[in-house]
Amino acid sequence: MIDLVGKTAIVTGGARGQGAQEVRKLCKAGAAVIIADILVEEGAALADSLNSGGGQARFFHLDVSNPDQWVSVVNEMEDWQGRLDVLVNNAGIVIRKSIAQMDLDTWNRVIAINQTGVFLGQKTVADLMRRSGGGSIINISSNSAFTAHQDPAYTASKWAIRGLTRSAASEYADWNIRANAICPGLVVTELNRGAPHLKPMIDATPSGRAVEADEVANLVLFLASDLATSITGEDIVIDGGFLALSAYRRVQRAS
């Protein structure tokens, strides 16, 4: 029932997985969407599929750690639609190494994509979003941003996204720009299906299952819409109760 006709969005990491679901939801609601990703074939194919179904989508090659490419994608949106209403900072990577195992190059790569990419996105879109009358920045963090994930760069970057979100929410409030962080738990996509940590995490989740990418996309759609105009600076956890409930449930079951 959410109507985004006349609105526009940029979704990073939008070519596949959770990002692609976010793109589909926004397009179905009527938004014109730029799919920003380094996966050219998958991103272009998704745009073609959406356009053939009556949607409005374009693919744009974007390395989120590159400030010049950020300027280019925002310019592309302004040339195409003349406005920007929504940014979804969805792009991110996980490289599972412990502190002892992790080298500096790996650390820097994860931080550049997961953390610096969010900073650059928030910085670069702000002027066009302000000139469009305001908008919604939606940063994809993780429930690991409240605890520890056995990947120090990933964990640090997801904690940092919460701070970046609140900084943007405060700084941009006078421009009618909202900023919120979505913090999913385990989401199973083609990127992690079959990983050994999935079953133990699902077993510890009170809902008894992983979060669906479609469920995260529904939350993105809500935050992008005018239904969420009073929500800003928030960390919204969507993890089947894992963060809030799993530890005490294990105690209860053992007693």
**Catalytic positions:** 154
Q: Which pair of structure tokens corresponds to residue 36?
A: 């920003």
Please say whether the beta carbons of 60 and 34 come within 8 A: yes
Length of the chain: 255
Q: Which pair of structure tokens corresponds to residue 106?
A: 């790996």
CA 116 to chain centre: 14
CA distances (Å), origin 26, targets 91, 108, 137, 160, 194 = 16, 32, 14, 26, 29
Those residues whose C-beta lies under 8 Å from the C-beta of residue 99, and which sit 6 or more positions away, are: 152
Those residues whose C-beta lies under 8 Å from the C-beta of residue 80, and which sit 6 or more positions away, are: 32, 34, 58
Q: Which residue has the tokens 């008894």?
A: 208
Please say whether the beta carbons of 139 and 182 come within 8 A: yes
Tell me how far apart the alpha carbons of residues 119 and 103 are, in angstroms, rounded to a whole number: 23
Please say whether the beta carbons of 161 and 107 come within 8 A: no
User: By C-alpha distance, which of 115, 95, 92, 122 is closest to 106?
Assistant: 95
Tell me how far apart the alpha carbons of residues 75 and 54 are, in angstroms, rounded to a whole number: 24
Containing 76, the helix (H) or strand (E) segment is helix 67-81
